[in-house]
């Protein structure tokens, strides 16, 4: 199979062989793989909003008024949680960057929480998104912002995978009130396993679509 061969077209997510190959270490995963996870999970959690990487880039680089108008159809004010991938790229033409982290908004605590696996490298980027996105959320008062004490990646290429693991932590532990700590749930072995699980999920869905 060539690197450009189509592997999966799943709603708004399109993956090619070159994308799937990135799930083998020591590769950085790209915005298309993060987008697939967001697209897949959005079909399972109707109380959560999953903001695509290119939309997150738009929020970061646009005016608050433009952001509010653009985001209105997503009805973020009705969502219990909003999940946003953050990158360190300031180029309006590209949604990907060198480093990924996760910004979440939790309505019940009226707070933005930033999960970063590399020394809070994306804090400024996440704050810029939070400052503009809060106008779409219609909270009773301005949300708080905090950098969460996160497990740190032990290599130079796993930031995207940590970001995905943080997504699952928010969905399965923060929202459900599970008392397990982030550092208990997200460990280097967890991240390595998630690469394998995603590869298997993509293969499984691809086979299902082939049979239809």
Catalytic annotation present for 99: yes
Segments of the chain with pLDDT less than 70: 1, 92-96, 177-179, 210-212
| 173 part of the active site | no
Mean pLDDT (the chain, rounded):
91
Domain definitions of the chain by residue range: 31-188
Residue of 212, 85, 69, 92 lying closest to 159 (CA atoms): 85
Q: Is 153 left (phi over 0), alpha (psi -120 to 50) or beta?
A: beta
99, 114, 150, 158: which is the annotated catalytic residue? 99
136 catalytic residue (yes or no): no
Residue 203, SS3 per DSSP: helix
Q: Which of 31, 116, 136, 158 is catalytic?
A: 116
Query: Which pLDDT belongs to residue 101?
Result: 98
Pairing of strands 81-87, 100-106: antiparallel
* pLDDT value of residue 139: 79
- Residues 130-188: pLDDT tens digits? 999 998 998 788 999 999 999 999 999 999 999 999 999 999 887 776 668 899 999 99
pTM (2 d.p.): 0.93
- Please check whether residue 92 is in contact with residue 130, taking contact to mean a CB–CB distance below 8 angstroms: no
Active-site position among 113, 136, 150, 159: 159
Q: How far lies 17's CA from each of 35, 36, 41, 105, in Å?
A: 15, 14, 21, 33
The CA distance from 44 to 31, in Å, is 20
- What CATH class does 31-188 carry? alpha beta
């Amino acid at each position: 199979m060539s690197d450009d061969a189509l592997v999966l077209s799943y709603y708004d997510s399109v993956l090619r062989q070159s994308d799937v190959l990135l799930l083998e270490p020591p590769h950085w995963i790209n915005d298309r793989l993060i987008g697939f996870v967001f697209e897949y999970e959005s079909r399972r959690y109707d109380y959560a909003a999953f903001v695509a990487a290119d939309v997150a880039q738009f929020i970061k680089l646009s005016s608050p008024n433009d952001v509010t108008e653009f985001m209105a159809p997503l009805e973020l004010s009705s969502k219990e949680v909003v999940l946003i991938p953050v990158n360190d790229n300031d180029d309006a033409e590209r949604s990907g960057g060198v480093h990924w982290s996760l910004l979440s908004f939790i309505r019940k605590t009226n707070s933005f929480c930033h999960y970063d696996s590399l020394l809070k490298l994306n804090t400024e980027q996440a704050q810029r998104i939070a400052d503009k996105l809060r106008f779409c959320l219609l909270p009773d008062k301005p949300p708080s912002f905090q950098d969460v004490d996160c497990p740190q990646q032990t290599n130079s290429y796993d930031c995207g995978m940590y970001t995905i693991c943080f997504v699952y932590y928010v969905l399965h532990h923060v929202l459900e009130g599970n008392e397990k700590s982030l550092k208990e749930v997200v460990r280097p072995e967890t991240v390595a396993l998630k690469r394998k699980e995603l590869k298997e999920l993509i293969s499984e869905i691809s086979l299902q679509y082939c049979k239809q």
